Amino acid sequence: MKLKRLGHVAIRVTDLEQSSQFYQALGMDLVWQDTDWAYLKAGNDGLALLSAQYQQAGAHFGFVFSERREMESAYNHLNNQGLDLSPIHEHRDGTASFYGKDPDGNWFEYLYEPLPV
Protein backbone atom coordinates (compact mmCIF):
# COMPACT_ATOMS: atom_id res chain seq x y z
CA MET A 1 0.00 0.00 0.00
CA LYS A 2 1.51 3.31 -1.08
CA LEU A 3 -0.17 6.60 -0.29
CA LYS A 4 -0.44 9.13 -3.10
CA ARG A 5 -0.37 12.32 -1.06
CA LEU A 6 -1.67 14.09 1.98
CA GLY A 7 -4.78 15.67 0.50
CA HIS A 8 -6.32 17.80 3.21
CA VAL A 9 -6.49 18.82 6.83
CA ALA A 10 -9.89 19.14 8.49
CA ILE A 11 -10.52 21.50 11.37
CA ARG A 12 -13.55 22.27 13.55
CA VAL A 13 -15.00 25.77 13.22
CA THR A 14 -17.70 27.56 15.18
CA ASP A 15 -19.14 29.59 12.27
CA LEU A 16 -18.91 27.78 8.93
CA GLU A 17 -19.82 30.77 6.76
CA GLN A 18 -17.46 33.15 8.53
CA SER A 19 -14.57 30.66 8.40
CA SER A 20 -15.23 29.89 4.74
CA GLN A 21 -15.10 33.58 3.88
CA PHE A 22 -11.96 34.04 5.98
CA TYR A 23 -10.01 31.32 4.18
CA GLN A 24 -11.25 32.52 0.80
CA ALA A 25 -9.93 35.99 1.71
CA LEU A 26 -6.56 34.33 2.41
CA GLY A 27 -6.56 33.12 -1.20
CA MET A 28 -8.16 29.67 -1.05
CA ASP A 29 -10.81 28.58 -3.56
CA LEU A 30 -14.15 27.28 -2.31
CA VAL A 31 -14.76 23.88 -3.91
CA TRP A 32 -17.80 22.65 -1.96
CA GLN A 33 -20.01 23.96 0.79
CA ASP A 34 -22.89 22.23 2.47
CA THR A 35 -24.85 22.98 5.63
CA ASP A 36 -22.35 21.23 7.92
CA TRP A 37 -18.97 21.40 6.14
CA ALA A 38 -16.99 23.22 3.47
CA TYR A 39 -13.97 22.27 1.38
CA LEU A 40 -11.41 24.75 0.11
CA LYS A 41 -8.25 24.30 -1.92
CA ALA A 42 -4.97 26.08 -2.50
CA GLY A 43 -3.51 24.32 -5.53
CA ASN A 44 -3.70 20.59 -4.76
CA ASP A 45 -3.89 21.11 -1.00
CA GLY A 46 -7.24 21.04 0.75
CA LEU A 47 -8.76 22.40 3.93
CA ALA A 48 -12.04 21.01 5.22
CA LEU A 49 -14.04 23.12 7.64
CA LEU A 50 -16.27 21.04 9.92
CA SER A 51 -19.16 22.61 11.79
CA ALA A 52 -20.42 21.32 15.13
CA GLN A 53 -23.19 19.51 13.22
CA TYR A 54 -20.70 17.44 11.16
CA GLN A 55 -20.92 13.92 12.61
CA GLN A 56 -18.62 11.70 10.48
CA ALA A 57 -15.34 12.51 12.24
CA GLY A 58 -13.56 15.17 14.21
CA ALA A 59 -10.54 17.15 13.16
CA HIS A 60 -8.39 14.93 10.95
CA PHE A 61 -5.97 14.72 8.06
CA GLY A 62 -6.84 12.94 4.83
CA PHE A 63 -4.78 10.84 2.43
CA VAL A 64 -5.93 10.67 -1.19
CA PHE A 65 -6.37 7.75 -3.56
CA SER A 66 -7.31 8.31 -7.21
CA GLU A 67 -8.57 4.72 -7.63
CA ARG A 68 -11.44 3.46 -5.50
CA ARG A 69 -10.09 -0.10 -5.48
CA GLU A 70 -6.83 1.17 -3.90
CA MET A 71 -8.79 2.80 -1.09
CA GLU A 72 -10.85 -0.37 -0.59
CA SER A 73 -7.68 -2.50 -0.60
CA ALA A 74 -6.15 -0.21 2.03
CA TYR A 75 -9.33 -0.58 4.11
CA ASN A 76 -9.11 -4.37 3.97
CA HIS A 77 -5.39 -4.32 4.81
CA LEU A 78 -5.82 -2.05 7.84
CA ASN A 79 -8.95 -3.87 8.97
CA ASN A 80 -7.06 -7.19 8.85
CA GLN A 81 -4.41 -5.62 11.09
CA GLY A 82 -7.11 -4.99 13.68
CA LEU A 83 -7.30 -1.20 13.42
CA ASP A 84 -10.55 0.38 14.56
CA LEU A 85 -12.02 1.75 11.33
CA SER A 86 -15.31 3.30 10.35
CA PRO A 87 -17.25 1.70 7.52
CA ILE A 88 -16.55 3.06 4.04
CA HIS A 89 -18.79 6.09 3.65
CA GLU A 90 -20.19 7.51 0.40
CA HIS A 91 -19.95 11.32 0.48
CA ARG A 92 -22.39 13.77 -1.09
CA ASP A 93 -19.73 15.11 -3.45
CA GLY A 94 -18.99 11.75 -5.15
CA THR A 95 -16.00 10.82 -3.02
CA ALA A 96 -15.84 7.87 -0.60
CA SER A 97 -13.71 7.32 2.47
CA PHE A 98 -13.20 5.70 5.81
CA TYR A 99 -11.79 7.02 9.07
CA GLY A 100 -9.45 5.52 11.63
CA LYS A 101 -7.37 6.62 14.60
CA ASP A 102 -3.63 6.49 15.15
CA PRO A 103 -2.14 5.17 18.44
CA ASP A 104 -2.54 8.63 20.00
CA GLY A 105 -6.20 8.97 19.05
CA ASN A 106 -5.70 11.35 16.09
CA TRP A 107 -8.20 10.84 13.29
CA PHE A 108 -7.07 10.07 9.75
CA GLU A 109 -9.09 9.58 6.60
CA TYR A 110 -8.36 7.48 3.51
CA LEU A 111 -10.24 9.22 0.72
CA TYR A 112 -11.09 8.11 -2.81
CA GLU A 113 -11.21 11.26 -4.92
CA PRO A 114 -12.16 10.57 -8.55
CA LEU A 115 -9.93 12.10 -11.19
CA PRO A 116 -11.54 15.07 -12.97
CA VAL A 117 -13.26 14.09 -16.21
pLDDT computed for residue 91 by the predictor? 85
On the CB side of 89, CA atoms within 13 Å amount to 15
Top-tier CATH class for 5-112? alpha beta
User: Which tens digit of pLDDT belongs to each residue from 14-63?
Assistant: 999 999 999 999 999 999 899 999 999 999 899 999 999 998 888 999 99
For the range 92-100, what are the long-range contacts, defined as Cβ-Cβ under 8 Å and sequence gap of 24 or more? 92/34, 93/32, 93/39, 96/68, 96/71, 97/62, 97/71, 98/71, 99/56, 99/57, 99/60
User: Which tens digit of pLDDT belongs to each residue from 104-113?
Assistant: 888 999 999 8
For the entire predicted model, the pTM comes to 0.81
